[in-house]
């Protein structure tokens, strides 16, 4: 029983709290619905048929397990500038090779199966960069359910290829003009739709945030990343990695990687937030490092906010990290000291992006480019026999226009 009590894996409690974070801060209209969702999720968890269908779709539709890859040339490159005996091995969990190009699809498969179990006939979702929107539209096409995606009007402009993808997949994309017209406003609009259509609509939340049980179930669906990686690493190297690294927007890819390792005391973990133009100003999206606890979008967590509790707009070169909050489990993992968090700037992420293109022939998304920047800083400091495992959670096709603009290239 001691093991249970001392575990980092037994969160949240029965009220959906991760320590003081998480919870169910929603309007009364939604409360009965999220209680229903929790009941249905518990039933699904103990239903072997649900797990079998989830696993089958992940294998044959998503293309799992994703490879575990030793990035030999990147390792060599980073070791060149390291002191004698330093320069850790860099390995990637290749979730950018999933169908739709990112880890987002893992969660969408799980949630749409839940929606179908609950008899819901209409799907809604919010999206920032468009990756979650594309993944949601994809599973909706796969299961023949109508789909409405809320996307900030600013993001619709910035991410037109993903908007077109969603439309091709049959989704209706609704540009949101309220507030700052970005991801948080899209989420507000999603919640407004949901509250007006509770009887038939399922809200597929894209990250490990929102009211309980979303943070828990999104984490669980994404934990396939860490479970696979743990087995793959053991079978390939006979040992566990020394350091896990992942980028954090809402935090679902990081939790997916970290969670299965949380009780492996020797495995260190580093979450990388979007530092934008630097943490000393307001132009960043680092909720943990530059925010304070508060309540938004159904959960208590660290938020970018002013002294009156008004939410401030995050900034990042990556539209997928540009959110003023973070999943509540990360807030708890930070305060409990189990996971360390850092931030890298837009500039550093851009360097990470180019580094990977050049050394490994992989074009990463700008989100994991943040994790790459942290890898590039950390690897030369660690002994050469150490292993860093990074979640390469998305591919960069969607970002080439942003990167070209930043590099001053006209396309």
Binding-site ranges for other proteins (CB under 8 A): 15, 23-33, 178-179, 184-185, 188, 191-192, 195-199, 294-298, 300, 303, 305, 307-312
Q: How far is the CB of 286 from other proteins (least distance, A)?
A: 18
Q: Which helix (H) or strand (E) holds 245?
A: strand 243-248
- Give 25 or 61: the residue with its C-beta nearer to other proteins: 25
Closer residue to other proteins, CB minimum distance, 122 or 377: 122
170 sits in the region (left: phi over 0; alpha: psi -120 to 50; else beta) called: left
Instruction: Report the C-alpha gap between 128 and 184 in whole angstroms.
Output: 8
Q: In the bound complex, what is the minimum distance in angstroms from residue 178's beta carbon to other proteins?
A: 6
Q: CA Rg, the chain, in Å?
A: 20
Q: Which lies closer to other proteins via its Cβ, residue 153 or residue 198?
A: 198
Closest contact distance (angstroms) between CB of 296 and other proteins is 6
d(CA 268, CA 262): 9
Q: How far is the CB of 378 from other proteins (least distance, A)?
A: 35
Q: State in angstroms the smallest separation of the CB of 119 from other proteins.
A: 16
Q: Which is nearer to other proteins, 121 or 312 (CB)?
A: 312
**Smallest distance from the beta carbon of 126 to other proteins, in angstroms?**
12
Instruction: Name which of 404, 402, 410 is nearest 161 in CA terms.
Output: 402
Closest listed residue to residue 16, CA positions, set 304, 331, 300: 300
CA angle, 263 then 291 then 379, to 5°: 50
Nearer to other proteins, 17 or 132 (CB): 17
- CB-CB neighbours of 89 under 10 Å: 22
Q: Least distance from C-beta 2 to other proteins, angstroms?
A: 28
* Per-position DSSP letters for 350-363, written without gaps between them: HHHHHHHHHHHS--
* DSSP-assigned letters across all residues of 30-60: THHHHHHHHHHHHHHHT-HHHHHHHHHHIII
- Nearest to 173, CA basis, from 139, 141, 150, 202: 150
Residue closer to other proteins by CB (options 274, 296) is 296
CA 151/CA 377 separation, integer angstroms? 34
In whole angstroms, how close is the CB of 206 to other proteins at the nearest point? 17
Our CB check for other proteins shows the closer of 291 and 394 to be: 291
Considering the complex, what minimum distance in angstroms separates the CB of residue 15 from other proteins?
A: 7
- Concatenated DSSP letters of 58-113: IIIII-PSPPEEE-HHHHHHHHHTSPTTB--EEEEE-GGGSGGGBTHHHHHHHHHH
Decide whether 322 or 367 has the Cβ nearer to other proteins: 322
Which lies closer to other proteins via its Cβ, residue 30 or residue 112? Answer: 30
């Amino acid at each position: 029983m001691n093991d249970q009590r001392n575990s980092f894996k037994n969160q949240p409690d029965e009220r959906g709290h991760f320590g003081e974070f998480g919870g169910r801060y929603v309007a009364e209209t939604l409360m009965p619905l999220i209680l229903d969702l929790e009941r249905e999720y518990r039933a699904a968890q103990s239903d072997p048929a649900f797990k079998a269908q989830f696993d089958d779709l992940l294998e044959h539709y998503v293309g799992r397990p994703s490879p575990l890859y030793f990035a030999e040339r990147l390792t060599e490159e980073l070791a060149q500038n390291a002191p004698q005996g330093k320069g850790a091995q860099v390995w990637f969990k290749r979730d950018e090779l999933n169908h739709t190009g990112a880890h987002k699809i893992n969660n969408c498969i799980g949630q749409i199966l839940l929606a179908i179990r609950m008899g819901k006939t209409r799907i809604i979702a919010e999206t920032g960069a468009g990756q979650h929107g594309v993944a949601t539209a994809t599973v909706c096409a796969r299961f023949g359910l109508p789909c409405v995606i809320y996307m900030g009007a600013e993001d619709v402009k910035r991410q037109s290829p993903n908007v077109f993808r969603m439309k091709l997949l049959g989704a209706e994309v609704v540009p949101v003009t309220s507030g700052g017209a970005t991801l948080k406003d899209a989420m507000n609009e999603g919640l407004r739709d949901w509250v007006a259509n509770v009887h038939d609509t399922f809200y597929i939340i894209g990250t490990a945030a929102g009211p309980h049980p979303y943070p828990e179930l999104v984490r669980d669906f994404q934990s396939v990343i860490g479970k696979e990686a743990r087995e793959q690493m053991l079978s390939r190297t006979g040992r566990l990695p020394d350091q896990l690294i992942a980028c954090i927007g809402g935090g679902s890819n990081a939790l997916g990687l970290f969670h299965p390792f949380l009780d492996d005391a020797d495995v260190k973990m580093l979450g990388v937030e979007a530092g934008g133009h630097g943490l000393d100003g307001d132009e960043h999206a680092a909720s943990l490092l530059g925010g304070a606890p508060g309540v938004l979008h159904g959960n208590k967590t660290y938020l970018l906010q002013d002294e009156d509790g008004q939410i401030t707009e995050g900034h990042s070169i990556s539209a997928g990290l540009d959110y003023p909050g973070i999943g509540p489990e990360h807030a708890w993992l930070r305060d409990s000291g189990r996971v360390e968090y850092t931030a890298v700037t837009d500039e550093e992420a851009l360097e990470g992006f180019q580094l990977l293109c050049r050394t490994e022939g992989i074009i990463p998304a700008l989100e994991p480019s943040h994790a790459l920047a942290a890898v590039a800083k950390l690897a030369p400091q660690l002994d050469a026999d150490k292993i860093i495992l990074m979640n390469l959670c998305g591919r960069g096709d969607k970002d080439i226009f942003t990167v070209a603009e930043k590099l001053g290239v006209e396309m």
